[in-house]
Chains A and B, each alone.
Chain A
Amino acid sequence: MSRTWLSIVATVALTSACARRPAGPAEPQPKAFGAAVVSVSGEKQAAGVGAQLDQPVVVQVNDAKGTAVAGALVRFTGAGGVGFQPDHGLTGADGQFTTNVGLGSASGWYRIVATTQDSTGKAAEVQIDEVALGYQERLGQKLNEIHCIRCHDSESTAERVSNHDNLEAKPHAFTDGAILNPMSDAALIAMIGHGGAALNKSAEMPPYANTLTRVEIEALVAYLRAVADPPYRPQGIFYASN
């Protein structure tokens, strides 16, 4: 008799524990499954710390043949205080899912992950990197937009015609980590301040030492370090004993 009572109590306790989980907004049920998720746009943007990225991040779910899948469930996750609006949902008719990303409050690279599951429950994911800029880097970003971007960015926009292709020595993009990471801060500051000619490079890079202050030149270096791809890793300090 007591054993019967015990089993009833246990069953009630278990079901009530299970029933509590779906509380809150209802989870969307996937209507279809894909085999892969790929990034469409919104990768490698730079914005201020804690700020929302200017452009939304768009990913697409594909099946094994590479055809877009509508109605697949996509979930975004990210460490370090990254926020998503919304953080999960179903792909639209074009197989794409769009979310607005708010960065964390520390400067540096943020890796966000978009995940989807195939019909067997196996997860497929894509990693997307974004950059958060602190005060100094943001100042550098703005100075770049005034003084540097017309030559150093080969892309033109509706409001800005690029001068990149008019130059004999093609300027390096500030994101070109492969070239810029091996250069020391001192070398970059000298390059911006004294110009290319003083360092046996092209005179087409003019000297900015009299135009920009030391603080501004350092901010520019901080900015190009922040957006360097592959990411820049500082050398650190070397001590004689080590």
Chain B
Amino acid sequence: MNLRQKIGAAWRLLFGESARAFGTLSVVLLALLAIVPAKDHFREWLRYQKQYLGLVRGRSDATSLTRRFQGGLQQTWLPALDVVDRCTTCHAALKEATLIDVKQQPFRPHPAIPHNLTEFGCVICHRGQGAATSVEEAHRSTKSWEEPILPARYMEASCGQCHLDRLTGTPLLNQGRRTLAQYGCVRCHVIRTPDGIAMTGADDPPSLEHIAEKTSREWIAAWLKNPQAYAGSATMPNFQLPDEDIRDISAFLIAQSTPYLKGGSPVPVPTAAPDDAAAVQQGASLYGESFCASCHATQNAAGTLVGGTLGPELTRVGSKVKPAWLAEWLRDPKTYDPETAMPHYRLDAKQLGLLMGFLESKTDSDFLGSAHPDAPTKPQIEHGQKLVIERGCAACHEINGIKRPDDFAPELTLVGSRPLAKILFAPGVPHTLADYIGAKIRQPRSFGNSLKMPQYTLAPQQVDALETALLAQTERAQTLPASLRVVAQGPSNYRAAGKAGQLMDDMRCLSCHAINGRGGVMAPELTWEGSSVQRTWLVNFLKNPNTLRPALIRRMPKFYMTDAEANTLADYIATVYQTPDFDRDGPDAAHAGSSDVEHGKELFYGKYACQSCHIVDPDKDKGYIGPTLTQAGVRLNAAWVFHWLKNAQSLRPGTLELVWKMSDDDARAITAFLMAQKAAPPKGGPQK
């Protein structure tokens, strides 16, 4: 029997007569019809829903859990947010707080967050493919969907799509955005937040237009070789330049430098520092008394960095700066850098010499080495200039004859949505966006030696923070309704007026204090300071700032200002910086008879236990957190104290003082008690 006969026989068997054909077709049709219900029956999510019902069956609140459970495909549809999420089909228990002990996915309840799940859906925060109904398609990147679930460690990136301000609950995102600004990332890469505003740098890269006045070619070369060898805290990255390039760049930078003092210093400054050990010791004391360490850090004998981060680290400053430059800088930093954050100390010639001697003694012979480059040739200088342009040095630093390059590096506004298909991964890097960004930040040159991005020195946590901030830069952030956006309050352009304004600018008060929405965060906000303190006290404090808070680490420097200067400032502060909410001097609920003092004392030590944080009686009280109040009666205004006890946050937002909302009677009594505290100010200078 050949094949043809076999087929013929089978045909006759199945379709030989009409009844047979009808039967066969019916069976085939039935089988075809069964495919869909069968596929339906074996769907992944049905299995999870059955599992969920099995999971809750044994629990004490099974009845209510089962009643709240909705079978079938579930969907959150939010057209305004472009959200179609079916995640709740399997994640059935997101809102069931009683299942807190369940650790098995997909049945864990959602942890507490400030948003309602039904208002925002899932993918806005978690990413992934919301409309998918299989585990693979919803969570991982597939051929048709490139956006997998966002790993939990970068979760704060999702908050950053709408929240452009600093949320207390997103420390990593805040740190990342701060790092982008402080490490100069935004000087080469344009990064626009969803409100269209480009991020700006918070670092202060120095101008190099007069660099030859400040330092030597040897120092520039050693610094370019490895900035972190000079100062571990330096934010300048390592460009990994070959020695010839360093030779040529340093030659060019010295060659382009111009003098900054037209006709010498306006006042004579010491040209050399006394170099005996006793003078260095005196200089060290002056450095301490002037509280230079509030802004500048130095390494101590144990190698730990001690001091503030507002100014550059000074551990090896003696190997860097030239004596003439240092003297003029200490005399008035604005002559060299009009934009500096450093205040103008009123140091006399002797003090200048002592400080110079101390700073110049902070040398490190290992850092400079013994290399003395030969005098540069013209081709070397020209090559150096070419390199400076190529490397984009002018994106951060002002350099004579070189324009700041625009769009030097790729814009990163949408980097959080970059399609994986357009990314070239370095070998060994897992194919996810987060891993790509992380690898780029950690080892930029692993993607190719010709890449310009330099090598940064960052801790693992800083890299995580940067990744979080960059992953917040998504396309979705641009398309979400603008009404959801919480915009950051940028700094105001406030400047104090008149002669006092000039003095405040000269002493750079706003480097540490904020006034009317502009200034630093290191020291107290001073917008209503005129309502707070008494003028006589203020004059004395400006001339000789004694420490109010025993546990304070960063302290107000002593500027050695004259009586006239202190009076001008005090007049201005007392007159202008007054709150409109109450009259400092007028009749006020705060003013009361002396009979209240004893009652106030009882309240202070009893009901309110203020001594937990404040000291009134130095022999008995120990509170370390708030300012010492032994002189409250000569320092503060009664009306201020009264309103402070009612609502301190409204007078100085962010203060550690609680909002007490005290009754008028209690507040009046405690005010009277505090205003009776008039201890003599401590003798001598500020305590160490």
Binds B, one of A33-41, A111-119, A176-184, A200-208: A200-208
Report chain A residues within 8 Å CB of B153: 48-52, 102, 105
Q: Is A127 an interface residue (CB 8 A)?
A: no
Q: How far is the CA of A161 from the CA of B624 in the complex (A)?
A: 8
- The residue that B155 contacts in the complex, of A50, A160, A218, with Cβ under 8 A, is A50
Q: Which residues in window 229-248 of B have CB below 8 A to A?
A: none
Q: Which residues in window 132-162 of A have CB below 8 A to B?
A: 134-136, 138-139, 142-143, 146-147, 150-151, 158-162
Q: How far is the CA of A206 from the CA of B626 in the complex (A)?
A: 14
Report chain A residues within 8 Å CB of B508: none
Q: How far is the CA of A108 from the CA of B112 in the complex (A)?
A: 13
Say yes or no: A51 contacts B172, CB within 8 Å. yes
Report chain B residues within 8 Å CB of A135: 111-114, 155, 169
Say yes or no: A203 contacts B108, CB within 8 Å. no
- The residue that B607 contacts in the complex, of A107, A134, A203, with Cβ under 8 A, is A203
Minimum Cβ distance to chain A for residue B336 (Å):
31
Minimum Cβ distance to chain B for residue A172 (Å):
15
- The residue that A52 contacts in the complex, of B98, B464, B606, with Cβ under 8 A, is B464
Q: Mark A47-83, 1 if CB is under 8 A from B, else 0.
A: 0111110100000000000000000000000001000
Say yes or no: B613 contacts A163, CB within 8 Å. yes
Say yes or no: A51 contacts B464, CB within 8 Å. yes
Say yes or no: B461 contacts A105, CB within 8 Å. no
Binds B, one of A10-18, A90-98, A233-241: A233-241
Q: How far is the CA of A106 from the CA of B101 in the complex (A)?
A: 12
Q: Is B497 an interface residue (CB 8 A)?
A: no
Q: How far is the CA of A147 from the CA of B625 in the complex (A)?
A: 11
Say yes or no: B60 contacts A239, CB within 8 Å. yes
Q: Is B151 an interface residue (CB 8 A)?
A: yes
Q: Which residue of B lies closest to A207 (CB)?
A: B658
Say yes or no: A163 contacts B625, CB within 8 Å. yes
Q: Mark B102-115, 1 if CB is under 8 A from A, else 0.
A: 01000010011110
- The residue that B60 contacts in the complex, of A161, A163, A242, with Cβ under 8 A, is A242
In the complex, how many residues of chain B place their beta carbon closer than 8 angstroms to a beta carbon of chain A? Answer: 45
Report chain A residues within 8 Å CB of B151: 50, 105
Q: Is B661 an interface residue (CB 8 A)?
A: yes
Q: How far is the CA of A135 from the CA of B155 in the complex (A)?
A: 9
Say yes or no: B152 contacts A50, CB within 8 Å. yes
Q: Is B171 an interface residue (CB 8 A)?
A: yes
Say yes or no: A203 contacts B609, CB within 8 Å. yes
Q: Is A210 an interface residue (CB 8 A)?
A: yes
Q: Is A191 an interface residue (CB 8 A)?
A: no
Q: Which residue of A lies closest to B153 (CB)?
A: A50
In this complex, which of B169, B172, B622, B658 has the most chain A Cβ atoms within 10 angstroms of its Cβ? Answer: B169
Summarize B's interface: helix, strand, loop or mixed: loop
Say yes or no: B625 contacts A134, CB within 8 Å. no
Q: Is B460 an interface residue (CB 8 A)?
A: yes
Q: Is A215 an interface residue (CB 8 A)?
A: yes
Q: Is A131 an interface residue (CB 8 A)?
A: no
Q: Which residue of B lies closest to A208 (CB)?
A: B658
Say yes or no: B607 contacts A197, CB within 8 Å. yes
- Contact (A234, B100) CB under 8 Å given A135-B111, A206-B609, A210-B660: yes
Q: Mark A207-242, 1 if CB is under 8 A from B, else 0.
A: 110110001001100100000000000101101001
In this complex, which of A162, A210, A218 has the most chain B Cβ atoms within 10 angstroms of its Cβ? Answer: A210
Q: Is B312 an interface residue (CB 8 A)?
A: no
Say yes or no: B152 contacts A49, CB within 8 Å. yes
Say yes or no: A202 contacts B609, CB within 8 Å. yes
Q: Is A187 an interface residue (CB 8 A)?
A: no
Q: Mark B239-280, 1 if CB is under 8 A from A, else 0.
A: 000000000000000000000000000000000000000000
Report chain B residues within 8 Å CB of A150: 624-625
Q: Is B449 an interface residue (CB 8 A)?
A: no
Report chain A residues within 8 Å CB of B98: 236-237
Q: Is B623 an interface residue (CB 8 A)?
A: yes
Q: Is A166 an interface residue (CB 8 A)?
A: yes
Minimum Cβ distance to chain B for residue A217 (Å):
13
Report chain B residues within 8 Å CB of A158: 306, 553
Q: Is B612 an interface residue (CB 8 A)?
A: yes
- The residue that B612 contacts in the complex, of A105, A107, A163, A237, with Cβ under 8 A, is A163
Minimum Cβ distance to chain A for residue B295 (Å):
15
Q: How far is the CA of A50 from the CA of B172 in the complex (A)?
A: 12
- Contact (A163, B658) CB under 8 Å given A50-B155, A135-B155: no
Say yes or no: B103 contacts A163, CB within 8 Å. no
- Contact (A142, B168) CB under 8 Å given A50-B152, A50-B153, A163-B623: yes
Report chain B residues within 8 Å CB of A143: 168
Say yes or no: A166 contacts B612, CB within 8 Å. yes
Say yes or no: B113 contacts A106, CB within 8 Å. no
Q: Is A99 an interface residue (CB 8 A)?
A: no
Q: How far is the CA of A146 from the CA of B171 in the complex (A)?
A: 13
- The residue that B461 contacts in the complex, of A54, A134, A222, A237, with Cβ under 8 A, is A54
Q: Which residue of A lies closest to B125 (CB)?
A: A135
- Contact (A237, B607) CB under 8 Å given A206-B612, A211-B649: no
- The residue that B168 contacts in the complex, of A51, A139, A159, A165, with Cβ under 8 A, is A139
Interface set of A (CB-CB < 8 Å, partner B): 48-52, 54, 80, 100, 102, 104-108, 134-136, 138-139, 142-143, 146-147, 150-151, 158-163, 165-167, 197, 202-204, 206-208, 210-211, 215, 218-219, 222, 234, 236-237, 239, 242
19 more contacts with CB within 8 A, not counting A158-B553, A161-B553, are: A49-B155, A135-B111, A136-B169, A138-B169, A151-B625, A166-B612, A166-B623, A203-B609, A206-B608, A207-B658, A210-B647, A210-B661, A211-B649, A218-B112, A234-B100, A234-B101, A236-B98, A237-B98, A242-B60
22 of the cross-chain contacts (CB-CB < 8 Å) are A48-B152, A48-B153, A50-B153, A51-B153, A52-B153, A52-B460, A52-B461, A105-B152, A136-B112, A138-B171, A142-B168, A143-B168, A161-B551, A161-B624, A163-B623, A165-B622, A167-B622, A206-B612, A234-B100, A234-B101, A236-B98, A239-B61
